[in-house]
Amino acid sequence: MCLKIILACLLVLAISVTLSNADCFIQPLKLEIPNDEITGCHDSNGKLHEFGSHWRNADCYDCSCSRDGISCCSSFATPVGYDEEKCVSIFNKETCTYKVVEKNDDSKECPVHEWVG
């Protein structure tokens, strides 16, 4: 019984590691004025975010501000396992999701067998 539980836990761990392939980046802090006190992080639009704050940017990345800089990871999964000759993926910035549809008829969704992110 104990061996079955251990094997089940290993299986869950193996699956979760393969699904956690997020697109992330870190943007180092920039000093506006030399020797100036840093009070937070300026994002790409120039907006100041306090240390310890979290937000979602316009490109659907979840970001946070720390003394190391701005750390952002994608909040969406990207389709990669579909028929690219027949279908096309369309990203919706309002919902931060992809939809995969036929190129000739966008009312018909295509099956996706693999997602990354």
Q: Map out the domains of the chain as residue ranges.
A: 22-74, 78-116
Tell me the pLDDT tens digit for each residue of 28-49.
Answer: 987 666 666 778 999 988 899 9
Residue 65 has a CB neighbour count (10 Å cut-off) of 22
Q: Provide the CATH topology of domain 78-116.
A: N-terminal domain of TfIIb (2.20.25)
pLDDT digits (tens, 9 = 90+) for 61-100: 999 999 999 999 999 999 999 999 999 999 999 999 999 9
Query: What class is the 22-74 domain?
Result: mainly beta
Question: Is there a shared CATH topology between the 22-74 domain and the 78-116 domain?
Answer: no
At residue 25's C-alpha, the angle toward residues 82 and 50, to 5°, is 130
